Amino acid sequence: MENELRQKAKELLESGQVKQVIGYEDGSTAFKSTPCFASSPEDADRLVWNPTCVNNLAVYLPSAVKQGKVAVAVKPCDGRSVVELIKEHQINRDDVVTMVVPCPGVLNPDALADIDPKTIKNIEWKGDGISVTTDSGEISIPREKAFLDKCLSCTLTDPAVTNIKLGDSPERSPLKDKDAAIAEYEKMSVDERRVFWAKEFTKCIRCYACRQACPACYCKECFVDKNGQVWALKSTDPEANWFFHMTRAMHLAGRCIGCGECERSCPMGIPLTLIGRTLEKDVEEMFGSGAGQDPDALPILGSFDLTKDPDPCPE
């Protein structure tokens, strides 16, 4: 598969069809890969595809397309970000070639908790889980432990913007319900939730890693960075933190595709995907549609139809 990916990337670069291919390459350690920006056929040899390819590369597209047409390796989940970016006019459909990689699931770092990281040599898919090669031999980790939560409940097929399909899509047999994570949360009363979030948001150091990792946070100037129209303090005041996260959540309603990059990038371990998924569920229930499906769909804020309003304002 990796070879097929490199081959395709080379073809695209050699023929000049694209200026750049965005994919993954080996990182500084064997348990992390890093984004690869290949602009020559030789660069393409660095491309890899293995369980450590976790990043949602769609985040680079809006700036990358400014230099010319881009090919990007996307997992079915990340492909939905591409759909959103097209829908929101951040990239033109014609400026991006999606190379959809077959994804059985990507690495949950917790799976390696019992292994000395220095000894890890290689990680690959094996059976329905992964196999980790260490100095002292090979360790198999079963699927339920090996992959991220989002992968265990994944039912996604090829995204609506697929250009090149690499390999065969793996069978989807979700181990978990998509809403398992929020089911617990939803049991909390409103007051309990308030206490829960107060505690979580107090941890926030306002590094904005969540925002930077998010493919949907592409504003040139975030509301929270504005001068002269100060919506929330820029310091780590607990209320300002709260305000920042809640406003960001509102800005993502109907647009969050649940890639989980925000939570993964948060150095303070705030469970940000909980917000995203809870909100998405509301949107799905109220508007009957989810993010990242149809590049021609209107954004939910712009698709309001009075005749379908379940709760019209009284005259």
Partner 1 sequence: MARVGVFVCWCGSNIAKTVDVVKVAEAAGKLPSVAYSTDYKYMCSEPGQNLIKQAIEEHKLDRIVVASCSPRLHEPTFRRCISEAGLNPFMLEMANIREHCSWVHDDKEVASEKALDLIAMSVAKAVKNEALFSQEIPLTKKALVIGGGVAGIQVALDIADAGYKVTLVEKTPSIGGRMAQYDKTFPTLDCAACILTPKMVDAASHPNIEIMTYAEVEKVSGFVGNFEVTIRKKARSVDMKKCTGCGVCYEKCPKKLPSEFDCGLGQRKAIYVPFPQAVPNVPVIDRENCRYFADGGKCGVCAKICPSQAVDYTLEDEMITDKYGAIVAATGFQPWDPTPYTNLGYGRYPDVITSLQFERLFNASGPTEGKLVRPSDHKPPKNVVFISCIGSRDDEHGYPYCSKVCCMYNAKHALLLKEKVHDAQAYVFYMDIRANGKGYEEFVRRTIEKYGAIYLRGRVSRVFQDGEKLIVRGVDTLAGKPVEIEADMVVLAAAMEAQPDAKDLARMLGISTDEYNWFSEAHPKLKPVEVLTAGIYLAGACQYPKDIPDAVAQASGAAAKVVGLFAKESLQSEPTVAEVNEDTCVDCQLCKEVCPYTAIDTKTLTDRAGNPIRTVSCVNEGLCHGCGTCVAACRSSSIQLRGFKDNQILSEIDALAFAE
CB of residue 222 vs partner 1: minimum separation in angstroms?
Answer: 7
- Cα separation, 234 vs 212, in Å, equals 16
Closer Cβ to partner 1, 165 or 226, answer by number? 226
Among 196, 208, 223, 287, indicate the residue that binds partner 1 (CB under 8 A).
223
Q: Are 125 and 142 in contact (CB under 8 A)?
A: no
In b/e form, how buried is each residue of 55-87, taking b as 16+ CB within 10 angstroms? bbbbbbbeebbeeebbbbbbbbbbbbbbbbbbb
Q: Is 68 in the site for partner 1 (CB under 8 A)?
A: no
Residue 66, CA atoms < 13 Å, CB-side half-sphere = 5
CB of 195 to partner 1, least distance (A): 24
Our finding on whether 235 is near partner 1 (CB under 8 A) is no
Phi-psi region of 68 (alpha: psi -120 to 50; beta: other; left: phi over 0): left
Of the candidates 180, 136, 12, 161, the residue with the CA atom closest to the CA atom of residue 77: 161
CA angle 49, 55, 61 (to 5 degrees): 100
234 binds partner 1 (CB under 8 A): no
CB of 162 to partner 1, least distance (A): 24
CA–CA gap between residue 184 and residue 198 (Å, rounded): 18
List binders of partner 1 among 285-304 (CB under 8 A). 298-299, 301-304
> What are the backbone dihedrals phi and psi of residue 215, each rounded to the nearest 5 degrees, phi first?
-70, -15
Q: Is 218 in the site for partner 1 (CB under 8 A)?
A: yes
Binding mask 70-109 for partner 1 (x = CB under 8 A): ------------------xxx-------------------
Among 7, 226, 284, 309, binds partner 1 (CB under 8 A): 226
CB 301 to partner 1: min, Å: 5
Minimum separation from the CB atom of position 219 to partner 1 (A):
4
Q: Where along the sequence are the contacts to partner 1 (CB under 8 A)?
A: 88-90, 218-223, 226, 228-231, 251, 298-299, 301-304, 307
